[in-house]
Structure 1
Amino acid sequence: MQNVDNIFWFIPFSSLVALGFAFYFFKQVMKESEGTDKMITIASHVRKGAMAYLKQQYKVVGIFFLVIVVMFSVLAYGFNLQNEWVPGAFLTGGFFSALAGFFGMKTATYASARTANAARTSLSLALRVAFRSGAVMGLVVVGLGLFDISAWFIVLNYFVDEPSVAEKMMIITTTMLTFGMGASAQALFARVGGGIFTKAADVGGDLVGKIEAGIPEDDPRNPATIADNVGDNVGDVAGMGADLYESYCGSILATAALGAAAFMGNAELQMKAILAPMLIAAVGIILSIIGIFMVKANEGATQRQLLKSLGRGTNISSALIIVFSWVILYILELENIWGIWGAIVTGLITGIIIGRATEYYTSEEYRPTQKIAESSSTGAATVIISGLGMGMISTAIPVMAVVVGIIFSFLFASGFDMDNMGLGLYGIGIAAVGMLSTLGITLATDAYGPIADNAGGNAEMCELGPEVRKRTDALDSLGNTTAATGKGFAIGSAALTALALLASYIEELKIGIIRLLETAESYAFPNGNVVFTASDVSSISLMDFMDFFKVNLMNPIVLIGIFIGSMMAFVFCGLTMNAVGRAAGKMVDEVRRQFREIPGILTGKNEPDYANCVAISTKGAQKEMLLPSILAISVPIVVGLVFGVAGTMGLLVGGLGAGFVLAVFMANSGGAWDNAKKYVEAGHLGGKGSEAHKATVIGDTVGDPFKDTSGPSLNILIKLMSMVAIVMSGVTVAYSLM
């Protein structure tokens, strides 16, 4: 065990290395010039707007978190239905998730003008500035995530006192899962609120500016253009950072809990199984940093060459993690090393396939997006129809990749023994960890996108010239593809993580029943079986629990839960889509008002009232984000209280199945519509100002909430409902009606 204890310290060390390099890249970016006075002024407007929005959002979220912490404290200290560490773990999860988004967005708002100014020199320099800025986001997320996980592990290992090491590890790992709920809750607010903000500004600005006034995107005469650029940062940087922070931590925590359950009979192997996902993530940080230094491009590079440049870094990191993950398992001497390593490789391959499929269906370099653009010859309606159809078809490869990934990760880890559920589920969890192990560089390629987009906006507003705009357009178009790939990657990892969380839910139920038995003589299961002692509960297998709670497809309660879970995915999307529509409608009215009442705007004599547009988006986002977020948290609690464990399991299964497919469809449709517009703007089918361009702008407008609000929020919904069910399991077993 001493050897294992020594190896553990590599985990917090790697987290500090990540934060150190994030600071180094930040300082390197800050050394670059922001350019002309006008470029600096525009960047300052965007920075102030983004920080003002984030400050307001954190006030609202802070109140919500305070209410939840009080509720958890009452359940823990008043009713003994939760571990007393839960309120603190929940709070730190949300805090670090918010902190990751804040640091990433702060860097992005400083980087956009610097990227635009670098584009005045060369494409290669502009790519380096934008990508290194995105790397700050990626490294802050993994650094803070792993630091919080290792810190909680140290604290709980010191204070938690149980009769055996095995029981102690079960308490520690399941308690740490509640920190994942804090991260999920914060991520949902960040994603939904940021998504509503950015798309209200984007849709409003496009409909009036491009379609009605006929002025270019990011034209300084458009009153919504600053709000649009602010939105890129609060939605696609702060929101995405919080989102993937939650995915990263959730996969590690769920796998650690499954490892604790799978090796209950052997304390040494149990500890190794818990540390394995943390160590793989720690090594992934080092390899991500190596990959970041590999990204570079030549002047005049095509879209495929730029994609290849970014792919070089991610592919090298992925190849190296395959080797080093085996080394970690070998050093730990974990049971079935080759099988668990096979599960890790399966997760990586699954992620790569999802990324490549997303790239194929959303990049303007490939036929699916080009076909959507070509359908513009008959108007906007056919663009929308074509995009919807392509998005539906595009779900096939990611879904089948996840299906095959689940099968092989389970079989590899279980030694091809379908009855070995514990190790098989551990394999699925560690496959998710493998997929996210190099998140440092994967998220860098994603966060790079909105930075490049803002750089293009700055270049347009400052009239830097066609050569500069050509370079920023190339980076922006690449960013659309990498952002879509990042969303697909996040959604795919959510599917594997959510499946691991389902198994973790059962383990948390056991602990909830054990806690009940501290004050009760026995616990009666729904089918009449009675467990008299805590040791009886501890020895029950996962499949026995399924039988005890009647979790099978012939139980109508399970089917009710599945229907409610499936419905939740669609209702959630409907609420967020309508929220964008309402906020965008107010933005359209404001932009039209300014064009009408300040006639000098279009001639360039008078400056628009940018601040009022930012205020409209801020107010709309704060108001509209509450209902979808509260619904996502309250529904699992209500279903647990009314329909019990069987209904809750059905809810989580239904939400996972429908939510995963719907999220892929929305993200890919939206990304393809966006790049179809970019394809036309690049000079194809008549170019800017043509009828084809107007039709694809409409398609892009429809796709905006698809890809930036509803779609990416679904993967958080899937995991948040699981996290809420896990945290509230003690209440479910104590008070459910069925």
Structure 2
Amino acid sequence: GLFEAIAGYGLGGSSIALFGRVGGGIYTKAADVGADLVGKVEKDIPEDDPRNPATIADNVGDNVGDIAGMGADLFGSFAESTCAALVIASLSSIGEQHMWAAMMFPLCVTAVGILVSFVTTLVATDIKPASQISEIESSLKLQLVLSTVLMTPCVYFLANSLLPAEFTGLFTDDPAKVTKNYYVFYCVISGLWAGLLIGLVTEYYTSNRYQPVKDVADSCKTGAATNVIFGLALGYKSTIIPIFAIAISIYVSHTLAAMYGVACAALGMLGVLSTCLAIDAYGPISDNAGGIAEMAYMGDDIRERTDALDAAGNTTAAIGKGFAIGSAALVSLALFGAYVQRANVLDKDASILTPRVFCGMLVGAMLPYWFSAMTMKSVGKAALAMVEEVREQFRTIPGLMEGTGTPDYKRCVEISTKASLAEMVPPGVLVMGSPIVCGVLFGTQTLAGMLVGSLVSSVQLAISMSNTGGAWDNAKKYIEAGASDHAASLGPKGSEAHKAAVTGDTVGDPLKDTSGPALNIVMKLMAVESLVFAPFFYAHTRDGLLFRLLGV
């Protein structure tokens, strides 16, 4: 009963994360797209210029979507990975023999992660702070690497101290199979180091210090179309190494400790959660600082520094999203394992050669695309209303373009707020309704297939969307900064290459800040909801009401 309550806790955490991610994403991107299209492209005024009516809504949205949304997302991952580990452990000899210290192992991993993050923060702020613009990204990356290195021996100590030398009951096909405590250590560090690898690969594909983003910037010379083509290709290619990292982590952890190992791998990836959240929040804070500098008409040197911080922040935000996506994949698989156990779906019942399971997989793989279509269209509709409002204000408010009139910022904030509240309902109904409808009408087998299909499809789509959007954003900033000969050759702000980069950035905004990150919650929420309702499905609709009605 206690661990069923924990599953409900995970469901609550993921539900609020969905609304935070989707609602926050629609809010921030409606304002961002509206501000960019009219301000930069049509009126040729700088980003965050106080003459632009959508500027305040844009800056508020950074906090709503990128800080509150990411916080809720990672909290949901943490709650659900802990929930999956505790539920699976309670069904093993650890739970049967009431080994309380061993049961607390997942929570202790996270607690140690917080202490490790304190130490790494001190390194970045007091021991080795960044003193030059070129050191910003390196300093943030050092925190991530250092926290991963320090976490490794701490996890070994916890596994030896809290877990029994040997325990059983983790493998459903062979309950007597023995799992040793150091197996669990390997599971945790497989997730921990896979997370670091995903972070570093994400940095490579989204930082303007590396060739991929420079290639995207270079493609802007021939217009927006080639920029979009190069950006999409970059996003698709960026899935390769993260997927291998996640796959290896899953294989190692499942081989050593079944689904409990996968849940521990997810906890390992989230072990440096505090550091991840800090470097992710760095991005929107830097962006807002730049906005304030622009609105206050501070000197060009101030704006140059805030732009450098913002560009680094863009990369750290992409790294944070990479961690969130990787951990969501592991969490979803662990929750799927818990669901299969709770719903008594046997291995032979979950075979993809079974028509019900395969059909469920196909539908599950389609759901992330349907969800993304909904969220993208929601941003488009809200952005359209924002663009019309901004244009109307430039037309009707005397002296606005000259800087003598005052824009109606409040009206733009209202448009974003109303759009985000109204437009997040249909995607929410799709994600939360699908497992219930599938479980009741088509049974536990089909639902198992749907969960797997959704997981496999969501993780690829989320990585490519997030990295494509991040690359387009930093390609634009690379051209604007003009810090190298190559960047300067692409032209100053207002050049044709810059306008093409702005178009790419505008297309990428809803990809990297709305649809992509929200897919993390799609795979987690469907899995945890299925786990919560698994006993009901097993007791009442195991074979599916529709199949029962048709007599098949």
Q: When the two structures are superposed, what TM-score results if normalisation uses the length of structure 2?
A: 0.92
- Counterpart selection for 2:324 from 482, 490, 493: 490
Counterparts in 2 of 1:456-471, with a 5 A limit? 456-471=290-305
Which residue is 2:511 aligned to? 706
- Counterpart selection for 2:353 from 543, 546, 554: 554
Give 5+ residue unaligned stretches, structure 2.
167-179, 548-552
- Counterpart selection for 2:7 from 177, 182, 186: 177
Which residue is 2:131 aligned to? 299
Tell me, yes or no, if structure 1 residue 394 matches structure 2 residue 394: no
Contact 1:380 1:699 in 2 (8 A): yes
- Counterpart selection for 1:690 from 495, 498, 507: 495
Q: Give the number of aligned pairs.
A: 520
Which residue is 2:21 aligned to? 191
Deviation sequence 1:11-66 (CA, Å, 0-9, x none): xxxxxxxxxxxxxxxxxxxxxxxxxxxxxxxxxxxxxxxxxxxxxxxxxxxxxxxx
Q: In structure 1, give the amino acid aligned to 2:23.
A: G
Tell me, yes or no, if structure 1 residue 627 matches structure 2 residue 447: no
Distance in 2, Cα, partners of 1:457 & 1:620: 23
User: Which secondary structure state, in structure 2, belongs to the residue aligned with residue 474 of structure 1?
Assistant: helix
Shift of 1:509: 2.4
C-alpha spacing 1:250/1:231, structure 2 compared with 1 (3 Å) = same
Contact 2:352 2:449 in 1 (8 A): no
Distance in 1, Cα, partners of 2:93 & 2:76: 26
Counterparts in 2 of 1:219-618, with a 5 A limit? 219-263=49-93, 266-269=96-99, 271-296=100-125, 297-302=129-134, 305-334=135-164, 335=166, 336-411=180-255, 414=256, 423-509=257-343, 545-547=346-348, 550-618=349-417
Shift of 1:265: 7.7
Deviation sequence 1:704-729 (CA, Å, 0-9, x none): 00000000000001000011111122
Q: In structure 1, give the amino acid aligned to 2:357.
A: V
Deviation sequence 1:235-255 (CA, Å, 0-9, x none): 111111111110111111111
User: Which secondary structure state, in structure 2, belongs to the residue aligned with residue 381 of structure 1?
Assistant: helix
Q: In structure 2, give the amino acid aligned to 1:495.
A: A
Shift of 1:299: 3.0
User: Which secondary structure state, in structure 1, belongs to the residue aligned with residue 36 of structure 2?
Assistant: helix
Which residue is 2:466 aligned to? 667
User: Which secondary structure state, in structure 2, belongs to the residue aligned with residue 404 of structure 1?
Assistant: helix
Q: In structure 1, give the amino acid aligned to 2:24.
A: G
Distance in 2, Cα, partners of 1:630 & 1:263: 39
C-alpha spacing 1:238/1:265, structure 2 compared with 1 (3 Å) = closer
Which residue is 2:41 aligned to? 211
Contact 2:340 2:448 in 1 (8 A): no
Deviation sequence 1:395-425 (CA, Å, 0-9, x none): 11111110111112223xx2xxxxxxxx322
Contact 2:124 2:140 in 1 (8 A): yes
Contact 1:261 1:507 in 2 (8 A): no
Distance in 2, Cα, partners of 1:325 & 1:551: 34
C-alpha spacing 1:333/1:252, structure 2 compared with 1 (3 Å) = closer
Q: In structure 2, give the amino acid aligned to 1:478.
A: A
Deviation sequence 1:100-156 (CA, Å, 0-9, x none): xxxxxxxxxxxxxxxxxxxxxxxxxxxxxxxxxxxxxxxxxxxxxxxxxxxxxxxxx
User: Which secondary structure state, in structure 1, belongs to the residue aligned with residue 353 of structure 2?
Assistant: coil
Distance in 1, Cα, partners of 2:141 & 2:230: 29
Shift of 1:268: 4.4
Shift of 1:264: 5.9
Deviation sequence 1:668-704 (CA, Å, 0-9, x none): 0000000000000011211211111000000000000
Contact 1:195 1:708 in 2 (8 A): yes
C-alpha spacing 1:371/1:604, structure 2 compared with 1 (3 Å) = same
Q: In structure 2, give the amino acid aligned to 1:729.
A: A
Q: In structure 2, give the amino acid aligned to 1:301.
A: I
Distance in 2, Cα, partners of 1:479 & 1:371: 20
Distance in 2, Cα, partners of 1:264 & 1:505: 19
Distance in 2, Cα, partners of 1:708 & 1:478: 16
C-alpha spacing 1:669/1:476, structure 2 compared with 1 (3 Å) = same
Shift of 1:468: 0.9
**Greater shift in the superposed pair: 498-507 or 206-215:** 498-507
Shift of 1:287: 1.1
Distance in 2, Cα, partners of 1:640 & 1:438: 35
Contact 2:105 2:163 in 1 (8 A): no
Distance in 2, Cα, partners of 1:340 & 1:616: 50
Distance in 1, Cα, partners of 2:408 & 2:162: 61
Distance in 2, Cα, partners of 1:506 & 1:603: 64
C-alpha spacing 1:482/1:298, structure 2 compared with 1 (3 Å) = closer
User: Which secondary structure state, in structure 1, belongs to the residue aligned with residue 91 of structure 2?
Assistant: helix
Contact 1:641 1:731 in 2 (8 A): no
Deviation sequence 1:159-208 (CA, Å, 0-9, x none): xxxxxxxxxxxx32232111100010100001000000100000011001
Deviation sequence 1:606-660 (CA, Å, 0-9, x none): 0111000000111111110100011100011000011101111011000000001
Distance in 2, Cα, partners of 1:299 & 1:554: 59
- Counterpart selection for 1:643 from 442, 446, 456: 442
Q: When the two structures are superposed, what TM-score results if normalisation uses the length of structure 1?
A: 0.69
Give every structure 1 segment of 4 or more consecutive aligned residues whose post-TM-superposition deviation is greater than 4 Å.
Answer: none
Contact 1:326 1:337 in 2 (8 A): no
Ranked by relative contact order (alpha carbons within 8 Å, sequence separation 6 or more), the top structure is 2
Identity %: 48
Q: In structure 2, give the amino acid aligned to 1:732.
A: F
